[in-house]
Amino acid sequence: LVTGGSNGIGLSIAEASKEKGAKVIICGRNKNRLESVSEKYGFTSYVCDVSIEAQVVDMFENIKKDFGRLDVLINNAGYGYFAEIDKVDVHELINVLNTNVVGAILCGIETSKIFKNQNSGNIVNIASTAALKGFAFGTPYVATKFALRGITECWRAELRKHNVRVILINPSEVQTDFKLNSG
C-alpha cells in the first residue's frame, strides 16, 4: 500500500514496485487521478483521505477483505506548507499536521494490527531531509517531518518483536506538486 500513490514520489514507488512483481495498492484523495493512474498501471486503488479516521479504517477493512494480507505500508501521503513564523495560518498548520502526521499514524495503527497478526511486515515512512534539519519558513512542514522521524523510532521499538521492520527515508528536494495539497 502506497499512500499518496497517485502522483510524485508515491507514484514512482508504486511503479517501481509493480515492475518488481508486487501487487500494488495506492490511495489518495483525488478520485479521478486515482482511477486514471490505476487504469494506466494496473494498481488497485482506494479513495482515502488519510487524515480522516473513518476513511482509513474503511480502506483497511477493504484491503483485508480484498487481499487477505498486507506486506508493506509506504506511508507517503503528505504535502508542504511553508510560511514565515509570524505569518503561519493556524488552519493551514492544522491541515498539514493532520495529513502528514495524523494520517501516517492512522495508517500505522491499522497496518500494525495486520502485521502483528501476521507476525511480519514492513513500514516505510517517507519523510524528508527536513526531518534532519530545519530551515527558514519551514516551521509547519519541518515540524511534521521531525514528528515522523520520532514516530518511526517508536514504531521500530514496538514492532520489532512482531517481525515488523520500520524504516524512514529522507529524500532531498524532489520536483513534485506536493505544495499544492492536491491529494
Write out the chain's pLDDT in tens, 183 residues: 999 999 999 999 999 999 999 999 999 999 999 999 999 999 999 999 999 999 999 999 999 999 999 999 999 999 999 999 999 999 999 999 999 999 999 999 999 999 999 999 999 999 999 999 999 999 999 999 999 999 999 999 999 999 999 999 999 876 555 454 434
Q: State the pLDDT at residue 172.
A: 86
Q: State the pLDDT at residue 18.
A: 97
Cross-strand bridge partners of residue 74:
2, 124
Q: State the pLDDT at residue 177.
A: 56
Give CA torsion, residues 146, 149, 151, 154, to 10 deg.
Answer: -130
Question: pLDDT tens, 16-39?
Answer: 999 999 999 999 999 999 999 999
The whole-angstrom distance between residue 90's C-alpha and the CA centroid of its chain comes to 22
Q: Which residues contact 127 (CB under 8 A, 6 or more apart)?
A: 145, 148, 149, 152, 168, 169, 170
Question: pLDDT tens, 142-164?
Answer: 999 999 999 999 999 999 999 99
Catalytic residue among 46, 79, 81, 141: 141
Q: Whole-angstrom distance between the N-terminal and C-terminal Cα of the chain? A: 15
Total-model pTM? 0.93
CA separation for the pair 46, 44 (Å, rounded): 7
Neighbour tally for 115: CB within 10 Å: 25
Is 46 known to be catalytic? no
Cell of 169: 527515508
Which residue, among 163, 47, 151, has the nearest Cα to 109 in the 3D structure?
151
Is the Cβ–Cβ distance between 176 and 7 less than 8 Å?
yes
